[in-house]
Amino acid sequence: MNIFLENYGNSKLTPKQILTDPVLFLAFGFGSGLVKKAPGTMGTVAAIPVYLFCVQFNFWIYAGLTLIATVAGVWICDIAAKKLDEHDFGGIVWDEVAGYLITMLFVPFSWQALLLGFVLFRVFDIVKPQPIKWIDAKVTGGLGIMLDDVLAGVFAGLVAWFLL
């Protein structure tokens, strides 16, 4: 039983091609997006070590790193979609990495916050309440891939802040 696909996107890229291409490696969340089932969830799991690294810094550095990950993500996801010849391919999970970092921007570190943020972000990313659903359907390119997860991160972060 293989947990990976044989090839990815309309370009039929192999896992080796994805893992050895720096842009695709990032777009696929350090390889986490290669899994067949629930690549978005695995991309969010891959975001946890990134978060644990970033949260060690003060708020402004954390916010700056999150902004860099988000802005660079527009480019990363756009290039990845073109290389895969498929818009918002499920294995492109850099948007989940940035979205989770945005979620956690709203709350002080605790293991409970880490878990709550994870669950809330996944819920908002999967359910896609308005206007997230509209943006997901209407905005294209790298910005479209990123923007729905940015909003899911904002919504999840606000709910986490309220609950904590």
Residue ranges covered by each domain of the chain: 15-163
Confidence of residue 2 (pLDDT cuts 50, 70, 90): confident
Q: How many CA atoms lie within 13 A of 34 on its CB side?
A: 19
What pLDDT, on a 0 to 100 scale, did the predictor assign at position 68? 98
> What tens digit of pLDDT does each residue of 3-56 get?
999 999 999 999 999 999 999 999 999 999 999 999 999 999 999 999 999 999
Quick one: average pLDDT of 115-129?
98
The CA distance from 158 to 164, in Å, is 10
pTM of the model: 0.96
Distance, CA of 156 to CA of 5 (rounded, Å): 30
Give every CB contact of residue 75 below 8 A, 6+ residues apart in sequence.
142
The residues pairing with 69 across neighbouring beta strands, listed in sequence order, are none
